Amino acid sequence: MDSVIADEAVQRRRSVRSSALARLERMIEIRLVEERIRDLHREGKAWGTTHCADGQEAVAVGLAAAARPDDLVVCTHRTHHIGLALGVTPESLIAENIGRASGALGGLGGSMHLTATEVGLLHSIPIIGAMIPVAAGAALAAQVLGDERVAVAVFGDGGVNIGAFHESLNLAAVWRLPVVFLCENNVYAEYTASAETTPVPIATRADAYGMPSAVLDGQNVEAVREGLEQAFVRARAGDGPTLVEVATYRYGGHSASDQSPYRRDGELERWLERDPIAVQVAHLEALGEIGDLDALRRQVTARVDAATEAALAAPEPELAAMFANVLAPGPAPV
């Protein structure tokens, strides 16, 4: 990544911690960027599929506000909101989605493989639940190095029924690793309601490992921030891991092609009544700190417009980029 863009990302990483208004602005930005990414897919300017997180913005921004800038995050294929919240710039995320050289990974990672180590995003892993042991490993490294960093595994409700979830929680509890296991329970694991696959509340699974747990309101960014701050304090103090279940909802389908025929009647409308952006607006209004909301939206929209134009104007990667960072021996590129 270009050093100027990296510096901007680091500043964005810090700014989201500064105020409730900054957190509102970042949530609006995430919503708009994902709308643009969906549009680009519909227009045939991006290939493959994409997984958006409309409705889950408060989870990502609350995490970014609670974590230190040097903490480490490993997340899922639904990664845009996490990356933007942590500081990845709109231009580099959009460019990555459409395979341009100015993307976060030079256009080689696409929608599901976002990495931005300059802001603590170690990687996004599409394999369900696979990020959980990776985060435990990052926490072990932090523990051995004694640098007080905390690792975070961000995973969905679909990841709590695989062996790696239980193995990682067990080992983290035994070794008192500085890790936060953050489950985004957005009601559906792909097309299946979590109630049909998980017989007990997810957070209660921590009990089997003697691990503290919490259930947070995933539509309230300040509630997410405050709850996660407690988990980070415990981890940094050497008190081990925490399992945090965040109750949230994805407005869109599992992926770009999913029309969500499995939703229950009225379900989406009920969740829209507690849209995370609207909840934060109400919070700021109660504090008397909202200012000119229309002006804020125009400012963010202009920024996303400019980022989209810059991404579309960026060149595609050179052919040689395909062979960069490939360590296995092989024939030279033709």
For every residue of 276-293, DSSP letters joined together read HHHHHHHHHHHHT----H
Rounded Cα gap, residues 22 and 255, in angstroms: 29
Residues 6+ apart with CB under 8 A from 309: none
Domain ranges of the chain: 3-316
9 vs 126 pLDDT, higher one = 126
Q: What share of the chain is helix, strand, coil (3-state, %, to 5)?
A: 50, 10, 40
180 vs 331 pLDDT, higher one = 180
Q: Which CATH number fits domain 3-316: 3.40.50.10260, 3.40.50.970, 3.40.50.720, 3.30.360.10?
A: 3.40.50.970
pTM of whole model > 0.75? yes
Q: Order of strands, edge to edge, in the sheet holding 121-124? A: 121-124, 72-75, 151-156, 179-185, 242-247, 213-217
Q: What is the mean pLDDT of the chain?
A: 92
Q: What does the radius of gyration of the chain's CA atoms come to, in whole angstroms?
A: 19
Which pLDDT value is given to residue 310? 98
Q: What's the pLDDT band for 198 if we cut at 50, 70, 90?
A: confident
Q: What's the pLDDT band for 43 if we cut at 50, 70, 90?
A: very high
Rounded Cα gap, residues 163 and 130, in angstroms: 10
162 in helix, strand or coil? coil
Which ranges constitute the DSSP H helices of 98-162?
131-145
Whether the predicted pLDDT of 207 surpasses 90 = yes
Which pLDDT value is given to residue 330? 72
Average pLDDT over residues 40-55: 89
User: What pLDDT digit, counting tens, does each position of 294-315 carry?
Assistant: 999 999 999 999 999 999 999 9
> Which of 106-110, 164-168, 308-312 bottoms out in mean pLDDT, i.e. has the lowest?
106-110
Q: Which helix (H) or strand (E) holds 124?
A: strand 121-124
Both tokens assigned to 273: 């009544």
Average pLDDT over residues 248-270: 78
Which pLDDT value is given to residue 270? 92
Rounded Cα gap, residues 64 and 73, in angstroms: 10
Residue (of 61, 80, 63) closest to 277 by Cα position: 61
